[in-house]
């Protein structure tokens, strides 16, 4: 069985991301967390910072590798000899966008399959955007992100 790619901006990586990656690692022998560079977004962390935070966050699961990628995901699939994309679905509101992306990717690369995984119930509401908003307003994000991420977010917002 080939590796599966788990793409995202991971800005920042949350416990929900970790939950999905761990679930995927139980299904696939190798999961590659792809830190995407999305020109349409203005991330809090640089791509290199996000890669480092993701590596630290996923370090307990040896079959999860972290890479940075800035092109089309289908090209990343080809480059890493993978055919599966992992996507997390938190709620019905995620479904329409993810559905469109799955069919678009399959149209670009016929062998591309998208596997949707649901996180633990305690993470169904969690998003990176929400974590950043809470942190920016000096709220406690301890329950939402690993400590390494919490410390970097707090450091970032002290500088802003």
12: cis peptide before it, omega within 30°? Answer: yes
Per residue in 144-156, pLDDT (tens digit) is 999 999 999 999 9
Per residue in 86-131, pLDDT (tens digit) is 999 987 778 889 999 999 999 999 999 999 999 999 998 899 999 9
90 noted as active-site residue: yes
CATH of the domain at 102: 3.40.50.620
- Asked whether residue 41 carries a pLDDT value surpassing 90, the answer given is no
Residues 72, 56: Cα–Cα separation, whole Å: 25
30 noted as active-site residue: no
17 noted as active-site residue: yes
Q: Residue 21 class from Cβ within 10 Å (0-12 exposed, 13-18 middle, 19+ buried)?
A: buried
Give me the catalytic one of 2, 30, 90, 156.
Answer: 90
pTM of the model: 0.93
- Asked whether residue 44 carries a pLDDT value surpassing 70, the answer given is yes
CB of 152 within 8 A of CB of 43?
no
- Asked whether residue 159 carries a pLDDT value surpassing 80, the answer given is no
Q: What is the pLDDT of residue 1?
A: 66
Count how many domains the chain has.
1
128 noted as active-site residue: yes
Q: Which range of residues forms the domain containing residue 71?
A: 4-159
CB of 73 within 8 A of CB of 34?
yes
Residues 46, 92: Cα–Cα separation, whole Å: 30
Mean pLDDT of 29-41: 91
Give me the catalytic one of 25, 57, 83, 128.
Answer: 128
- Asked whether residue 76 carries a pLDDT value surpassing 70, the answer given is yes
Residues 144, 72: Cα–Cα separation, whole Å: 29
């Amino acid at each position: 069985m080939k590796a599966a790619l788990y793409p995202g901006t991971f800005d920042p990586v949350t416990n929900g991301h970790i939950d999905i990656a761990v679930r995927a690692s139980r299904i696939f022998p190798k999961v590659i967390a792809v830190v995407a560079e999305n020109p349409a977004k203005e991330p809090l962390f640089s791509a290199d910072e996000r890669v480092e935070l993701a590596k630290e966050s996923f370090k307990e699961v040896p079959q999860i590798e972290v890479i940075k990628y800035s092109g089309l995901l289908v090209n990343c699939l080809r480059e890493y000899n993978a055919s599966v994309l992992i996507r997390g679905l938190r709620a019905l509101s995620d479904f329409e966008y993810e559905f469109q992306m799955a069919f678009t990717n399959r149209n670009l690369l016929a062998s591309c399959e998208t596997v949707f995984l649901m996180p633990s119930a305690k993470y169904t509401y969690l998003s990176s955007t929400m974590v950043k908003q809470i942190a920016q307003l000096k709220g406690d994000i301890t329950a939402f992100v690993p400590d390494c991420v919490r410390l970097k977010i707090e450091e970032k917002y002290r500088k802003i």
